[in-house]
Structure 1
């Protein structure tokens, strides 16, 4: 049984399996899948708001990829949640069951210097995101090579 949620735009009840609020038309990213790659063309023609964990996307911002991920600090410490790549930002929101459930992290892709594939751990891989100030943030994700490919593609398009 799927629990109904409230739309972050109009507060109407919506079915999270539908991903679209039937009242205001907002698209709400609620997938529980390990990873999903979106076709951004599906969003460019829509005149509606897009939300990820109650975070509204900016004007002309579209989701590209989302999936489960851990923000990695050390072998004994990480925060689990969801990672979202858009054409403008990389966003991480922690799950409510973490010790740090309100953890929110984002970086504008304009501030990303490079991304690197890290250690392969069976079915997961580490991806390293290094910003212009040489600050490094590490995520453990499924399909790390796909994440790197998508990130590099978006960074290349930004020039």
Structure 2
């Protein structure tokens, strides 16, 4: 795990064990845990910006859940990284160990048509996300039922 990085807002050295940049006050989500839920109480009005990896949240956007995930293409191909659900978007960022480490995927919540559980693989599960054109993205995550529940709550 990375011990330090630069703040995406002000470029100051940022310790990944912290959640707020001591120089500019930005909140930076860097968790590598299997899954995290966020409380709106975590994001105080003093935080100037909120970042997930290098991605800046919109002004009225708040993180709800994040965790490790694989963007699944086939039985022999997937990209690993982090998945983030906010009140506005679902965002996937690949980690640096992939062949394509700059992979980025997102969908606005308003463009999600439906979600459903896919194949259960012991402790990990596939979550299918369909857009309004019936195109499907598949993620392998821990706690798939919880992901579906959280996404469906945001859709309502």
What's the TM-score once normalised by structure 1's chain length?
A: 0.94
Instruction: Give the unaligned 5+ runs of structure 2.
Output: none
Q: Which residue of 2 aligns with 1:119?
A: 119
Is structure 2 residue 95 aligned with structure 1 residue 78? no
Q: Deviations over 1:91-134 (max 9, x none)?
A: 00001111111110000000000010111000000000000011
Partner Cα separation in structure 1 for residue 65 and residue 126 of structure 2: 16
> Where has structure 1 moved over 4 Å in runs of 4 or more?
none
1:1-159 correspondence runs (5 A): 3-43=3-43, 45-156=45-156
Instruction: Give the unaligned 5+ runs of structure 1.
Output: none
Q: Equivalent residue of 1:114, what SS?
A: strand
Q: Deviations over 1:21-58 (max 9, x none)?
A: 00100000001111000012322644420001110000
Q: Equivalent residue of 2:84, what SS?
A: strand
Instruction: Kindly state the Cα deviation for residue 2 of structure 1 after the two structures are TM-superposed.
Output: 5.8
Q: Equivalent residue of 1:69, what SS?
A: strand
Instruction: Kindly state the Cα deviation for residue 145 of structure 1 after the two structures are TM-superposed.
Output: 0.6
Change in CA separation of 1:108 and 1:44 when aligned onto 2, cut-off 3 Å? farther
The total of aligned residue pairs comes to 156
Q: Equivalent residue of 1:151, what SS?
A: helix
What's the TM-score once normalised by structure 2's chain length?
A: 0.96
